[in-house]
Amino acid sequence: MTFYAYTYLTNQNSNHLLIQLTVISIIILIIALLSWLWYRHKTDLKYRDLFIIMVLVLLLLVGIQVNEWQTLQSTFSQKSQVTQIMQRVAKDKGVKPSQVWSNTASVNNGMLISVAGHIYNVTINPDGNSYTLTKATPINQPIKYVRE
């Protein structure tokens, strides 16, 4: 069983998005170069074909980027809800948020929160505006804590 620290959930970043944006920028530069070569050598159709291929690759990458962005927004929203619950539990138990751990990055019934060595089962009410903590005991599972 793995528990994630409050700081881990709030500070996660996505380096693959930076790589994708870099690749898109490089392809835009290649498209600019090919369009200049196509303009310069109007009779040579290889530049036009390469230009069209690069535009299609750019459109594909932009579509993938939009899909990744939507997925990231959903993930960020879920993590935000978990961190809000962790902040509230920390306030209720009188500890710092850094001492609260969650076993998941998404809000759901059955998620576990560890506070000062005690593990609680979180039950989310159907309206999603409140929760209930119930003391839980893990059964023979090693607990791994992920800080960052």
pLDDT tens for each residue of 64-96: 888 877 887 777 777 778 888 888 888 988 888
What is the token pair recorded at 14?
A: 């996505």
- How many distinct structural domains can be found in the chain? 1
For residue 143, the model assigns a pLDDT of 81
* CA-derived radius of gyration, the chain: 24
- As to burial, measured by CB atoms within 10 angstroms (0-12 exposed, 13-18 middle, 19+ buried), residue 101 is buried
For residue 139, the model assigns a pLDDT of 82
Report, as ranges of residue numbers, the positions in the chain whose pLDDT lies below 50.
none
| Structural domain span for residue 108 | 2-146
For residue 99, the model assigns a pLDDT of 86
For residue 56, the model assigns a pLDDT of 92
Phi-psi label, residue 140: left if phi above 0, alpha if psi -120 to 50, beta otherwise: left
What's the whole-model pTM score? 0.61
What does the alpha-carbon distance between residue 54 and residue 51 come to, in Å, rounded to a whole number? 5
For residue 8, the model assigns a pLDDT of 79
Say if residues 99 and 115 touch (Cβ distance below 8 Å). yes
Which residue shows structure tokens 């009188």? 94
